[in-house]
Amino acid sequence: MFTGIVEALGQIKAINVNSDGARVVVDSGDLDLTDVKLGDSIATNGICLTVVALDSSSYSADVSSETLTRTGFAHYAPGTKVNLEKAMLPTTRFGGHMVSGHVDGIAKILNVTTVGNSVEYWVELPQNLKQYVSEKGSITIDGVSLTVNSVENERFRLTIVPHTTEQTIISSYQAGHVVNLEVDLIARYIERLLFCKGQEDTASSSGISKELLMQSGFIKG
């Protein structure tokens, strides 16, 4: 589990494609690897990767064919910069939101506009993820926990403050750039809850209903 607060910027050193997927080597930049062990997880542009080899300045991980298909790895090459975050500890300050590192899909940056000292990004909203993205809700872009400022049809808007721009790879985004998306876990669980409830003839013993969720502000009618 991660928080979506980027700890360091890294860089892809190598991607070696094989019959099972690929082996990726990542230069860890300023990320402290002294407490990282083989088998630990590191979010790499929001993708939860398991460390299979390690030295003082880089780590290696295996990327499955599924991950290559569903994430931006198909667009990565040696030299590509990536956001890095180690798995959270029980004592970690929870500055972002719950992030699993399981990418739901990819999308393109549609437009970039400077507004005062911030930058606005309009991002493509895939049809299969529309129901999970709401105004003022949370979303993860390349491993960064961000707030959705508005949603319009097939796109949503982010407003990025200078600190986030400086600490992540977001400053490199231009129209057409492909990013990894992970929707809010709570939105997914609510959908599943409602789906299961809809298939039952009797009310759930938990007492949770669509009407209750609407009244509490979790979903809109």
Q: What are the extents of the domains in the chain? A: 8-86, 105-185, 186-215
Q: Which fold has domain 105-185?
A: Elongation Factor Tu (Ef-tu); domain 3 (2.40.30)
Q: What is the pLDDT of residue 29?
A: 96
Q: What is the pLDDT of residue 93?
A: 73
How far apart (Å, rounded) are the C-alpha atoms in residues 128 and 140? 16
DSSP for 86-127, please give it. EPPPTTS---S--B-S---EEEEEEEEEEETTEEEEEEE--G
Q: What is the pLDDT of residue 187?
A: 79
Domains 8-86 and 105-185 agree in fold: yes
How far apart (Å, rounded) are the C-alpha atoms in residues 146 and 53? 31
Q: What is the pLDDT of residue 208?
A: 59
Q: What is the pLDDT of residue 207?
A: 61
For the chain (221 residues), the mean pLDDT of every run of 10, in chain order, is: 94 92 96 96 97 96 93 93 92 79 95 96 95 92 96 95 95 96 85 68 54 66 61
Q: What is the pLDDT of residue 18?
A: 87
Q: What is the pLDDT of residue 171?
A: 94
How far apart (Å, rounded) are the C-alpha atoms in residues 54 and 180? 25
Q: What is the pLDDT of residue 203?
A: 46
Q: Model pTM?
A: 0.84
How far apart (Å, rounded) are the C-alpha atoms in residues 218 and 62? 37
Q: What is the pLDDT of residue 115?
A: 94
221 Cβ neighbours under 8 A, 6+ residues apart: 214
Q: Which fold has domain 8-86?
A: Elongation Factor Tu (Ef-tu); domain 3 (2.40.30)
